Structure 1
Amino acid sequence: MRVDVTVDISAPPEVVWAVLSDVESWPAWTASVTSIRPLSPDPLQAGSCVRIKQPRLPTTVWTVSELVEGERFSPGVHTRASHRVVGTADGSRAILSIDQAGVLGRLVGRLYGGLTRRYVEMEAAGLKQRSEESAPQTRL
């Protein structure tokens, strides 16, 4: 099962990246995350781990498998998540993806597919709102 959600954000990529990469603050801007606790000194480098709790799901540990500073990071083992920020003419575009592969991935997709999609959509909406609130305002 794969879920992709793309959202255009009226904020520069560096603002969106700052919000997205501050993983400990996610519970403040998305109801799809109850808590995130770093298990490594720096949660955003390859190999770093965080413990994440989401409503209606078991607590899990995400390991960052890839990081391109200012652009994307990918936590996950059997479930692979990707969070990407790219600049656009009007600000930024965030692409949030979840890919659940393998036999268990397909089973989890069947059981939690709707919930997973709702959570990714909630995260995209929250990221957009927090980033736009955090963006420097231009004067007319």
Structure 2
Amino acid sequence: MHFETSVDIDAAPETVWNLLKDVERWPDMTASMDRVEVLDEPFTLGSRARVHQPKLPAAVWTVTAYDESRTFTWESRSPGVTTTGAHEIVPTPDGKSTVRLTLDQKGPLAPVFALLAGRLTRRYVVMEAEGLKAKAEQG
């Protein structure tokens, strides 16, 4: 399964990045997250976080790519499925931001997971993008 969404945000990339990298506060921005615990400080390449989401088992995500102020990618593994989530900020010419979120699931059980939870997963990614936009535009 591959899912991607983009959102234009009326805020500077620095503002958006500060919200995006503060993963423990994501539950303040979206109902798709109950709790996020950073297991390794500071949050950067190699850091892990345990993410609790409604209707899904808790998952540990490991940061596999990190470019300060621009993007981070993290990965979660469960039996038969590897899920990769990427978060990218693209500065716009007017000093604002476009955020692109992608989610990929691979592995022998990925088709089964997509059938059972694909709609929910896609909805959560959209909720996260909309929540980030709303929070960044608040000031």
2:118 paired residue number: 113
2:92 to 88, 91, 106: 88
Name 2:30's counterpart in structure 1: 30
Runs of 4 or more off by more than 4 Å in structure 1? none
Aligned mates of 2:40, 2:24 — CA distance in 1: 12
Alpha-carbon distance in 2 for matches of 1:58, 1:20: 22
- Where does the alignment leave 5 or more consecutive residues of structure 1 unmatched? 135-140
Could you tell me how far apart the structure 2 residues matched to 1:54 and 1:60 are? 9
Match of 2:83 among 55, 58, 79: 79
- State the partner residue of 2:79: none
SS of residue matched to 2:109: helix
Work out the percentage of aligned pairs sharing the same amino acid: 44
Q: Which residue of 2 aligns with 1:2?
A: 2
Question: TM-score of the superposition, structure 1-length normalised?
Answer: 0.91
Letter of the 1:72 partner, please give it: T
Provide Cα deviations, 1:2-48, integer angstroms capped at 9, x if missing partner. Answer: 11010000001111111111111000011001000111121x21111
Q: How many residues align?
A: 133
Whole-Å separation in 2 of the counterparts to 1:64 and 1:101: 17
CA distance in 2, matches of 1:10, 1:21: 18
Q: TM-score, normalised by structure 2?
A: 0.92
In structure 1, distance between residues paired with 2:19 and 2:38? 16
Match of 1:48 in 2: 47
1-structure distance, mates of 2:68, 2:111: 31
